């Protein structure tokens, strides 16, 4: 199948849009159900692979493909010999999402796909901010969408469940999930921010995304953004004239983030109040319970969505699996974790940013510890290798 340049561009935007929409959105992923959304995502990935079939054949020499084979083997062996029967289709969903994400990521240049994702997230946030502000003063009519919960919605934007969040969630299920996508986009542009290089209106796009991030009032999101600022200035070579205005700007940015954190009721309650915060207590119980489960079955785990996993979770007090990394440990064991984190680190190194890959690796760990996002495409951006890393958009 040969597409004209214009049709190819439209198709690529469509692929990137589905990539974003499959990452835990309410009006798409939750409404269609995860099973339907992941299958559709796989179909798009297969068609895309056929269009770009000359790129990265499915050979065993491909490190990303070998990782897919490893996970398929690990889950298959566990289901045959070690795991109890499944209570839900988590393992199938994870494998489908992983393989579909591999098929898409391995067919694109990093800079080009980053450009597509940035533009899509920019427009989502640009329209989402006024929607959020207007709903905060009750000027927009809302509808109720019943998925796992009754969500207040304005078109595709999530406003709250069962009532207003009072925080920006975009099209995702809660503000903590929204900040993962927004922080990810910012981190993918760490070099542009670090060296103040702006093309194709990128400065405005990142400012809008940053405003959206601030409005999430997410404690984890703010911590990851502070880490982002640290990475931007770490060992940054610059002329004296540049230092005179850049350092004050960075200091002001730090102070602004801290002030926003301290003035955010959500963040302040989590960090400083003596009363037990529901979110903090729930997350702590989730972590302790799943860590105990990981220690009980360190090699293979309890399996993704198995009867034993949920039975043991209920007994130990794990309700929401709110920490993605610990959830992976409890489900697939330390063997998976070692291979997974090794793959992530080497994939980040391939992005060839000017900062140490440890900065982004640490940010990845923090983001994955904020939500159960292991099975979503946005996570696999840091797991699989892109087709190329050297064709900068617009160059």
294 phi and psi, to 5 degrees? -65, -40
Predicted local confidence at residue 105, as pLDDT = 94
Higher per-residue confidence, 228 vs 283: 228
* Kind and range of the H or E run holding 160: strand 157-160
- Decide: helix, strand or coil at residue 151: strand
Percent of the chain with pLDDT over 90: 43
User: What is the C-alpha separation between 26 and 30, in angstroms, rounded?
Assistant: 5
Q: Which of 183, 188, 191 is nearest to 233 (CA)?
A: 191
Predicted local confidence at residue 393, as pLDDT = 47
State pLDDT tens for residues 349-361.
999 998 999 999 9
Q: Which of 235, 237, 231 is nearest to 190 (CA)?
A: 231
DSSP 83: P
State pLDDT tens for residues 207-245.
999 999 999 988 889 889 989 988 888 776 666 566 666
Cβ atoms of 153 and 31 within 8 Å: the answer is: no
Tokens of 354: 């000017």
How far from the centroid of its chain's Cα atoms is residue 262's Cα?
25
Tokens of 81: 């010999």
- State yes or no: pLDDT of 188 exceeds 50: yes
Cβ atoms of 43 and 99 within 8 Å: the answer is: no
Q: Which residue is listed with tokens 């009363």?
A: 275
Q: Which of 186, 203, 208 is nearest to 127 (CA)?
A: 208
Q: Which residue is listed with tokens 């889950």?
A: 75
User: What is the C-alpha separation between 150 and 167, in angstroms, rounded?
Assistant: 17
Give Cβ neighbours of residue 391 (< 8 Å, ≥ 6 apart). Answer: 109, 111, 112
Predicted local confidence at residue 246, as pLDDT = 65
User: What is the C-alpha separation between 166 and 31, in angstroms, rounded?
Assistant: 22
State pLDDT tens for residues 59-89.
556 788 999 999 999 988 888 888 888 888 8
> Would you place residue 252 in the very low, low, confident or very high pLDDT band (cuts 50, 70, 90)?
confident
User: What is the C-alpha separation between 43 and 85, in angstroms, rounded?
Assistant: 27
Q: Write down the number of H helices and E strands in the chain.
A: 17, 3
Q: Which residue is listed with tokens 């610990």?
A: 326
- Decide: helix, strand or coil at residue 52: coil
- State yes or no: pLDDT of 263 exceeds 70: no
State pLDDT tens for residues 141-169.
888 888 877 888 899 999 988 778 889 99
Predicted local confidence at residue 241, as pLDDT = 61
**Of 164-173, 246-255, 313-322, where does mean pLDDT reach its minimum?**
246-255
Predicted local confidence at residue 254, as pLDDT = 65
Q: What average pLDDT does the structure give for the chain?
A: 85
Predicted local confidence at residue 394, as pLDDT = 42
Where is mean pLDDT largest: 39-43, 56-60, 264-268, 271-275? Answer: 39-43
Which whole number is the average pLDDT over 22-39?
92
- Decide: helix, strand or coil at residue 168: coil
- State yes or no: pLDDT of 272 exceeds 60: no
Cβ atoms of 95 and 71 within 8 Å: the answer is: yes
Predicted local confidence at residue 248, as pLDDT = 74
- State yes or no: pLDDT of 1 exceeds 80: no
Which whole number is the average pLDDT over 115-139?
94
- State yes or no: pLDDT of 269 exceeds 70: no
> Would you place residue 388 in the very low, low, confident or very high pLDDT band (cuts 50, 70, 90)?
confident
Cβ atoms of 324 and 373 within 8 Å: the answer is: yes
- Decide: helix, strand or coil at residue 6: helix
Rg (C-alpha) for the chain, rounded Å, is: 21
The residues pairing with 388 across neighbouring beta strands, listed in sequence order, are 109
Q: Which residue is listed with tokens 């490190």?
A: 63
State pLDDT tens for residues 85-112.
888 888 899 999 999 999 999 999 999 9
Count CB neighbours of 135 within 10 A.
21
> Would you place residue 266 in the very low, low, confident or very high pLDDT band (cuts 50, 70, 90)?
low
Predicted local confidence at residue 395, as pLDDT = 38
User: What is the C-alpha separation between 313 and 341, in angstroms, rounded?
Assistant: 24
- State yes or no: pLDDT of 336 exceeds 60: yes
Give Cβ neighbours of residue 61 (< 8 Å, ≥ 6 apart). Answer: none
């Amino acid at each position: 199948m040969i597409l004209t340049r214009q049709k190819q561009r439209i198709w690529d935007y469509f692929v990137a849009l589905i990539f974003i929409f499959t990452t835990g959105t309410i009006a798409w992923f939750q409404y269609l159900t995860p099973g339907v959304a992941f299958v559709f995502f796989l179909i798009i990935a297969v068609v895309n692979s056929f269009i770009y079939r000359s790129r990265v054949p499915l050979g065993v020499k491909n490190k990303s493909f070998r990782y897919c084979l490893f996970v398929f083997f690990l889950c298959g062996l566990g289901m045959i010999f070690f795991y109890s029967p499944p209570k839900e289709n988590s393992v199938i969903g994870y494998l489908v999402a992983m393989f579909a994400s591999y098929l898409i990521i391995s067919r694109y240049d990093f800079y080009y796909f980053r450009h597509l994702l940035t533009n899509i997230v920019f427009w989502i946030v640009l329209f989402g901010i006024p929607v959020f502000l207007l709903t905060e003063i009750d000027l927009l009519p809302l509808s109720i969408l019943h998925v796992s919960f009754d969500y207040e919605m304005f078109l595709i934007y999530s406003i709250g469940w069962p009532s207003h969040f009072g925080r920006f969630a975009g099209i995702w299920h809660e503000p903590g999930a929204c900040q993962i996508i927004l922080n990810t986009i910012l981190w993918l542009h760490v070099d542009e921010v670090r060296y103040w290089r702006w093309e194709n209106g990128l400065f405005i796009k990142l400012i809008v995304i940053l405003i959206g991030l601030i409005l999430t009032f997410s404690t984890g999101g703010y911590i990851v953004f502070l880490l982002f600022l640290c990475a931007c200035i770490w060992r940054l070579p610059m002329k004296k004239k540049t230092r005179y205005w850049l350092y004050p700007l960075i200091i002001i940015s730090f102070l602004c983030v801290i002030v926003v954190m301290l003035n955010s009721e959500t963040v302040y309650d989590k960090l400083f109040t003596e009363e037990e915060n529901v979110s903090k207590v729930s997350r702590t119980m989730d972590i302790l319970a799943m860590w105990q489960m990981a220690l009980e079955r360190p090699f293979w785990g309890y399996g993704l969505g198995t009867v034993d996993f949920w039975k043991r979770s209920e007994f130990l007090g794990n309700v929401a699996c709110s920490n993605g990394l610990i959830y992976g440990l409890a489900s697939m064991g330390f063997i998976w974790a070692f291979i997974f984190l090794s793959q992530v680190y080497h994939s980040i190194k391939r992005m060839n940013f000017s900062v140490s890959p440890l900065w982004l690796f640490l940010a990845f760990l923090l983001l994955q510890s904020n939500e159960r996002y292991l099975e979503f495409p946005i996570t696999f951006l840091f797991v699989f290798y892109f087709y190329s890393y050297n064709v900068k958009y617009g160059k």
